[in-house]
Amino acid sequence: MITNSIGLSQYLLLSSLIFSIGIFGVLTKKHIISVLFSIELMLNAVNINLVAFNKFLPDVFVAGQIFALFIIVVAAAEIAIGLAISIVIFRGKGTLVLEDFNLLKH
């Protein structure tokens, strides 16, 4: 039986690809919901890195997994607050396109 083990470089490649897609989404998307999803992709890429390094560096114990759980909690809070702010802005402005926001200008 042939077993292929996934090395650290494959995890890092996957993580960098997902992070790059997230950066691309943040920089190019015009809708606020798409930007929030892109930020989630970036946070998930960081989680993959943390868990991969935790797997391949056993001296750290479970610090990578604990940080990954912390990032998941922060990401859930970010989405909840982001969606709440999006609803308030949509009720006031009638749009969620980022180019139409000039809330800080008088």
CATH code where residue 41 lies: 1.10.287.3510
1 assigned to some structural domain: no
Q: How far is CA 97 from CA 25, 38, 39, 101, in A?
A: 14, 15, 16, 7
pTM here is 0.81
- Per cent of the chain over pLDDT 90 is 40
Q: Please check whether residue 76 lies inside any domain of the structure.
A: yes
Domain that holds residue 49: 8-100
Query: Does the pLDDT value for residue 40 go beyond 80?
Result: yes
Number of structural domains found in the chain: 1
Q: Per the domain annotation, does 38 fall within a domain?
A: yes
Q: What is the pLDDT of residue 50?
A: 86
67 vs 1: which has the higher pLDDT: 67
| C-alpha–C-alpha distance, residues 97 and 38, integer Å | 15
CA atoms in the 13 A half-sphere facing the CB of 8: 10
Alpha-carbon span 106 to 85, nearest angstrom: 20
- Is the pLDDT score of 18 beyond 80? yes
